[in-house]
Amino acid sequence: MDALITLLPGDGIGPEVTKSGRSILDTIGKEFGHNFSFSEQHIGGSGIDHCNDPLPSNTISSCNESNAVILGAVGGPKWDNPNAKIRPEQGLLGLRAALKVFANIRPVQIIPSLSNASPLKNHLLKDVDLLVIRELTGGIYFGEKKRNKSSASDLCIYHDYEVERIIRVAAKLAKTRKNKLCSVDKANVLETSRLWRDITTKTMSSEFPDTAIEHILVDAAAMYLINRPADFDVIVTENMFGDILTDEASMLSGSMGMLPSASLGESSVGLYEPIHGSAPDIAGKGIANPCGMIGSVALLLRHSLNLNEEADLLEQAIYDAIEGGARTADIATNNENILSTDEMTNVIINRLKK
């Protein structure tokens, strides 16, 4: 197959892990006879530095012409002035809106030999295999923001159609797994959550009557993710709750550096990025864990290119590399040999070669 992929390395460790993602795609292309071509563009702080714009117009047009988009990370202390009119994060939020990707899919699986890298006790991690679906384009992050001398407000707004479409995505994914959906809200306090719960209940009973649905308040969900994470199958929630819960869930897997994500909308042009940020504390050292990015490439192969065999093989290669003892610094717990970003990528590449 031929596919054009836009690469948005961004800032901090973004370029380091994006390079890994590209090498993996080059290998998959060679091994399976696909022709992947790439268009590299600026976003975030790199967009501000090169084009005075966190989301340059060339970036948007390249993404729209591509089959899929890979993003490293945006942000960092260099652009951290809270009073600045243009900020790196605007690039990411603007890109999600431009691509109309409203469903962020974050799988959390535990690789057994990494259970010691997690702060949780080993017995709690047994059988953890969950999927968090986070609504991406609504809620408090996008509502009107106001500030005067002594107060500030952020409007949280959700429309019925936004809830309906994300519940459909989550329920369809639940059907391919254990068919158990957990919707997380704060319906005891927030009006937006009461709308969320009403629409969820209606959509599930009319369209997915055979899928089990439970509603959990976000504070309780934060607790259950720690004390009974294996009970979850698919979790669906609104933008800010999903942002927070997925960072919490990342600790089940041992490191932020392990987790991939896919952001999908109505079209097949998906946005694929590891869940971590630009990690300024380790940027430029060549030690970032590339597994979150490489797992995101597997999601790209599956969801945007329909290459399920290649996606499965890549996920198996990550699993086997880790089970075989490969460790970057963030997931090392004993006196293992610590690999650089490139070395870890090569271990995975070697497992892909036929």
Ligand X SMILES: NC(=O)c1ccc[n+]([C@@H]2O[C@H](COP(=O)([O-])OP(=O)(O)OC[C@H]3O[C@@H](n4cnc5c(N)ncnc54)[C@H](O)[C@@H]3O)[C@@H](O)[C@H]2O)c1
Q: Which residues are catalytic?
A: 141, 186, 219, 243, 247
Q: Which is nearer to ligand X, 73 or 225 (CB)?
A: 73
Q: In this complex, which beta carbon is closest to ligand X, that of residue 216 or of residue 347?
A: 347
Q: Tokens in use for 32? A: 């399976």
Residue carrying the six token digits 């899919």: 105
Binds ligand X (CB under 6 A): choice among 15, 21, 242, 257: 257
Window contacting ligand X (CB under 6 A); options: 104-112, 128-136, 276-284, 342-350? 276-284
**Residue 279: CB minimum distance to ligand X, A:** 4
- Phi, psi (degrees; rounded to nearest 5) at 261: -150, 155
Q: How many CA atoms lie within 13 A of 131 on its CB side?
A: 21
What separation in angstroms does the CA of 283 have from each of 133, 306, 331, 333, 341? 29, 33, 17, 21, 11
Among 85, 210, 281, 334, binds ligand X (CB under 6 A): 281
Q: How far is the CB of 243 from ligand X (least distance, A)?
A: 9
State the first-to-last Cα distance of the chain, in angstroms, to the nearest integer.
19
Q: Which of residues 138-177 bind ligand X (CB under 6 A)?
A: none
Is 73 a binding residue for ligand X by CB under 6 A? The answer is yes
Q: Restricting to residues 87-116, which ones interact with ligand X according to CB under 6 A?
A: 89, 92
Q: Kindly tell me which residue out of 256, 298, 300, 344 binds ligand X, with binding defined by CB under 6 A.
A: 256
Of the candidates 19, 22, 276, 327, which one interacts with ligand X according to CB under 6 A?
276
Kindly tell me which of 50 and 228 has the beta carbon lying closer to ligand X: 50
**Part of the chain binding ligand X (CB under 6 A), chosen from 98-106, 147-155, 280-288, 317-325:** 280-288
Does the footprint of ligand X cover residue 339 (CB under 6 A)? no
Which of 249, 279, 314, 322: binder of ligand X (CB under 6 A)?
Answer: 279
Of 54-62, 180-188, 225-233, 281-289, the segment contacting ligand X by CB under 6 A is 281-289
Characterize the bridge pairing of strands 101-109 and 129-135: antiparallel
Query: Dihedral through CA 102, CA 142, CA 214, CA 206, nearest 10?
Result: -60
Kindly tell me which residue out of 277, 298, 307, 344 binds ligand X, with binding defined by CB under 6 A.
277
# of chain residues touching ligand X (CB under 6 A)? 21
The amino acid sitting at 331 is I
- Binding footprint of ligand X on the chain (CB under 6 A): 13, 73-76, 89, 92, 256-257, 273, 276-282, 288-289, 292, 330
